[in-house]
Structure 1
Amino acid sequence: MNPLTHPTQTGAEPETPARELESLLARAAAAAPRWAALTPLERAAALAAVADMLDANTRHLVKVAAEETGLGTARLSGEVARTTGQLRMYGEYAATGAPFGVTIDHADSATAPPRPELRRYQVPLGPVEVFAGGNFPFAFSVAGTDTASALAAGCPVLLKAHPGHPRTSATTAALVQEALAEAGAPLGTFALFTGREAGVTVLRDPRVRAAAFTGSVRGGRALFDIAAARPVPIPFHGELGSVNPVVVTPGAVGERRAEIFSGFAGSLTLGTGQFCTKPGILLLPRDPEAVAELAAEVGSAPAAAMLSPQIAEGFRRRLAEVAGAPQTRTLVESSVTTGDDGRPLAGPGLFLVDTVEEFLQDAENLLEECFGPSAVIVQYDTEDEVTRLLDRLEGSLTVTFHTAGEGPHGVDLSTLVEQARGKTGRVLFNSWPTGVAVAQAQQHGGPYPASTSAHTSVGPHAIERFLRPVVYQDAPAELLPAELREENPLRLVRTVDGKTETA
């Protein structure tokens, strides 16, 4: 079956019937206290069981996804491994107790005012709606980072499948449900549904206590507004759009010219530019020869498949908007065509703006994300010009600096880096933003419109999105939850009277 002729690929996304949706919501609500009551270690074992199930079925999952998305088997196999690694990592981190922030301050009558006994920890919010992402059919989809972090927190998940890979989603969901059931998770801990209207219905339902989203600014903002307008608003953790500017210093060009230019072209075209961390703006010291070299490097990249006709149409629209700006000059003209298998193909595009002043004249247009293999080079002459452009930048997932080694940078990097810190969640040096390591120290998010949340969506700290703090004051020992008991029966990491205790 050619997925591009399937109804889900042409906008007619099937809607889960209302009666079935109600059943899923009721089951998730019933499962919430039971799933939360399991110890973090028990939930970690269930997540590991899901990871084992997916690993055991990698070949089948990759085959289905390759047929449906056009992504290569090597890319998809690596993505399954990333997905199962996330599931295990988040579960193991939760099992330590770290996300739950157990903190105990014993009573102290000598303080002013006297301090009562306080025992604080974080508890699961309840059922979470996850809107699966389209550009990663595994790692940000059914069993991806949002699902893994919500389950690790102790929250059931209602997964709204992405229409771009329906068979992959259904196949993955069936394996997740089977593994959770075998691991003893209550019925309703995880469920998949489909449909745009169904997604809104679930978001508005009072039984849903939080939501997570990966996608466009337009779609994410609309859902964020719905979440905020509910009679009881809920957290909406949306990862939206980002232009991910790259600043190349004069010293870096002098030291690593060819390496930087080839690295930029590779990062720009990786995954046909369909990564949220694709570098969309390159701030380059004025150098006509460098611009020509970059154009040759980018122009040599072949056209590649895009994920869906809808994404291809959005890319075509943004190309026209950028090319139509009087400030831009086309260096490499992108094309969007149809391959022999019916999939949309996109070639890389590259634009030049001669000065920062000209760029700022149409900043609202040029600072909007172009989701696909296209970028804008902006030539600069002074550090002040870089400062002015970064000042106009809205929130971004990343800001990257390419610097000299031991030689002079040619700009005051300390000032620029401090400025970048206020605009982004991740500041990179001498590397490229595509590639988001799954690690405890990771931050994947940034000021709006990069995201609607202060939290990361990648790495085990993502668990914290689905928790809220509760304090027990002067509570009788027999009424304390296990996490807060003096003897620490769950062996959790905790802070007692200001001192950290390990398990």
Structure 2
Amino acid sequence: MTTPLTDSSAEQVRAACAAAAAAAPAWGLTPIPQRAALLRALADALQAAREALVPLADEETHLGPVRLNGELDRTAFQLRGFADQIEAGRAQPVQDDEAVPGAPPAGRPRLTRVAVPVGPVANFAASNFPFAFSVLGGDTAAALAAGCPVVVKAHPGHPRLSRAVAELAAAVLPAGVLQLVEGAGTAVGVALVRDPAIAAAAFTGSVRGGVALWKEANARPRPIPFYGELGSVNPVVALPSALAANGAALATQLAGSIVLGCGQFCTSPGLVLVRDDEPSRSFVRQLAEALAAANPHAMLNAGIRANFNAGVARLHGRTGVKSLLALPAREAAPGAHLFATDAATFLADEVLHEEVFGPSCVVVTVRDLDETLRVLAAVEGTLTVTLWGADEDTPAHRRLVAGAQAIAGRVLFAGVPTGVAVTAAQQHGGPWPSSTNGFTTSVGYAAIERFLRPVALQDAPAWLIAARGQA
């Protein structure tokens, strides 16, 4: 059950941004131990409110208490993790070059490179992760850790939960540090990105919505960075050696990944590349059987369900595309869909390159490595590529890895792409159109770098250098 939204007025959006701007100087100068303590206090408050928040989230998203309890814990883990990271110096990186007598280039003044918070950040909450990519999710945690206040645009798919979490945060954080605005249409988001107080924006959602806001961010009199995580098809390359050795288990594992969360993960595998041989054909049959036995839950909302229905309808009956599985809906839950085509058809039809957000996947049969690489290149940009069977050092595998790295932010050699670890080495962001900036990540502790701006201090006084070390 969802509650209809009343869009925040232009005055309310402006007031939220002004409050964040007023809070920015003090929050940016908050000593690191105090800032870390507040991040941990947010995590504690979130977990303490579990019994109220999880049922509310389930009413609005249909994701189920098991998934939502795990996601709440992940959100608390992220907040505590960023607290640990800033205590270790991640929010105050310092590179110090001592002075060298003489004129440049051999000589130089003392230069100390530091990082400063960019200022208020607009965070657009996601529909599919009502805790982990929402009011207190990863983007908010990273921005707060960097010393930036946040104005969150609540997602219309879970408005009551968003309000409850924002109220919880307001009881922990200093005034103005976290603000909430709401709106089901585009006006509130556009007003938020356009507001002169906003210094950066983070977004997780559709390609269409993200591109529109990205254009607004760049059209401002003073453009701002817009970190958008958009659509992704997440190809899985299943080499014959892997399928001959373990095809049945891999088919079961992949089917589980396709239907996980009813396919509503940004890392859901939507494309599988196989060869024209018996291990691959057997794997595809086993994949169809495993999907047929799966039972996806209801989708997040009627709009996402309608888009999914339209997406699979475009593929059924398409020239050169065979429908291997088209399960009927089970009450409110859609059935899984599996399609098959060849490389030539895939390369010629851009519709096949598009993400279908939900439990759907396209199998592409390729003849050889060259055709595999052409199909991957046609994807252009994706959050992940999974390579099964590239375990040995061969010229072919080196070419395949290079092709995967060219289009993806994360390359897997085992497992499936769903499930994104929160860690220092994580990269969740790939080349366009999977994200607007493939040089940054929205998951993991490097996410803080999006909201810090480097500044070089030349011949800085001793008190300033000492203050940086004590912050």
TM-score, normalised to structure 2, is 0.95
CA distance in 2, matches of 1:25, 1:144: 19
Deviation at 1:19, TM superposition (A): 2.9
> What is the match of residue 173 of structure 1?
166
Q: Is the counterpart of residue 191 in structure 1 residue 179 in structure 2? A: yes
Contact 2:273 2:364 in 1 (8 A): yes
Q: Which amino acid aligns with 1:368?
A: E
Is the Cα contact below 8 Å between 2:63 and 2:297 reproduced in 1? Answer: no
Structure 2 residue matching 1:283: 3-state secondary structure: strand
What secondary structure sits across from 1:305 in the alignment?
coil
Matched, 1:234 2:205: no
Shift of 1:405: 6.2
Aligned-partner Cα distance in 2 for 1:290–1:16: 51
2:36–2:86 contact (8 Å) kept in structure 1 = yes
Give the superposition deviation at 1:448. 0.8
The reply on whether 1:79 has 2:84 as its aligned counterpart is: no
Report matched runs for 1:264-279 at 5 Å: 264-279=254-269
Q: Corresponding residue for 1:360?
A: 347
Instruction: For 1:138-153, list aligned pairs within 5 A.
Output: 138-153=131-146
Give the counterpart of 1:377 among 342, 353, 363: 363
| Pairing 1:453-472 to 2, within 5 Å after superposition | 453=437, 454-472=439-457
Within a 5 Å distance, the mapping from 1:122-271 to structure 2 comes to 122-180=115-173, 185=174, 187-195=175-183, 196-271=186-261
Shift of 1:482: 1.1
Read off the aligned partner of 1:358 and give its amino acid letter: T
Output aligned runs, 1:107-118, within 5 Å.
Answer: 107-109=99-101, 112-118=105-111
Opposite residue 147 of structure 1, the aligned amino acid is: T
The answer (yes or no) to whether the contact 1:41–1:92 under 8 Å persists in 2 is no
C-alpha displacement at 1:481, in angstroms? 6.8
5 Å matches for 1:40-119?
Answer: 40-109=32-101, 112-119=105-112
Which residue is equivalent to 2:430? 446
Deviation at 1:302, TM superposition (A): 2.1
- Of residues 354, 368, 380, the one that matches 1:394 is 380
Whole-Å separation in 2 of the counterparts to 1:88 and 1:303? 32
Q: Does 1:474 align with 2:459?
A: yes
Structure 2 counterparts to residues 301-312 of structure 1, below 5 A: 301-312=294-305
8 Å contact from structure 1 (residues 149, 462) kept in 2? yes
SS in 1 for 2:333: strand
Deviation readout 1:42-70 (Å, 9 max, x if unpaired): 21111111111011111211111112211
Tell me, what secondary structure is at the counterpart of 1:422? helix
User: Residue 379 of structure 1 aligns to which amino acid in structure 2?
Assistant: T
In the alignment, residue 350 of structure 1 is paired with which amino acid?
L
SS at match of 2:58: helix
Residues 407-459 of structure 1: CA distance to partner in whole angstroms, max 9, x if unpaired? x99x8111010111111100001210000001111000101111112211001
* Secondary structure of the corresponding residue to residue 431 of structure 1: coil
Q: Distance in 2 between matches of 1:289 and 1:202?
A: 51
- Code of the aligned partner of 1:436: V
Q: d(CA) in 2 for partners of 1:314 and 1:163?
A: 16
Offset of residue 480 of structure 1: 4.8
Q: Give % identity.
A: 48
**Conserved? CA contact 1:123–1:467, under 8 Å:** yes
Distance 2:264 2:203 in 1: 16
The TM-score normalised by the length of structure 1 is 0.89
Per-residue CA deviation, residues 48-106 of structure 1 (Å, 9 max, x unaligned), is 11111011111211111112211111110000000000001012201222243211111
| Residue 420 (structure 1) aligned to one of 404, 427, 430 | 404
Amino acid at match of 1:162: H
Match of 1:388, SS state, is helix
TM superposition shift of 1:15: 0.8
Corresponding letter in the other structure for 1:76: L
Is residue 127–residue 207 contact of structure 1 (8 Å, CA) maintained in 2? Answer: yes
Query: Is the contact between residue 135 and residue 274 of structure 1 (CA under 8 Å) also seen in structure 2?
Result: yes
Q: How far did 1:18 drift?
A: 2.9
> Is the deviation greater in 106-115 or in 381-390?
106-115
Structure 2 counterpart of 1:496 = none
2-structure distance, mates of 1:403, 1:385: 17
Residue 393 of structure 1 and its aligned partner are, at CA, apart by: 1.6
Aligned length: 464
Structure 2 counterpart of 1:423, which letter?
Answer: I
8 A contact 2:251–2:284 mirrored in 1? no
1:387 Cα deviation (Å)? 1.3
CA positional deviation for 1:231: 0.4
Deviation larger for 136-145 or 32-41: 32-41
- What secondary structure is seen at the aligned counterpart in 1 of 2:76? helix
Counterpart code for 2:419: G
Give ranges in structure 1 of 5+ residues lacking alignment: 8-12, 491-503
Measured against aligned partners, the alpha-carbon deviations of 1:257-293 in whole angstroms (never above 9, x if no partner) come to 1111111101001110000000000001224333322
Structure 2 unmatched ranges of 5 or more: none
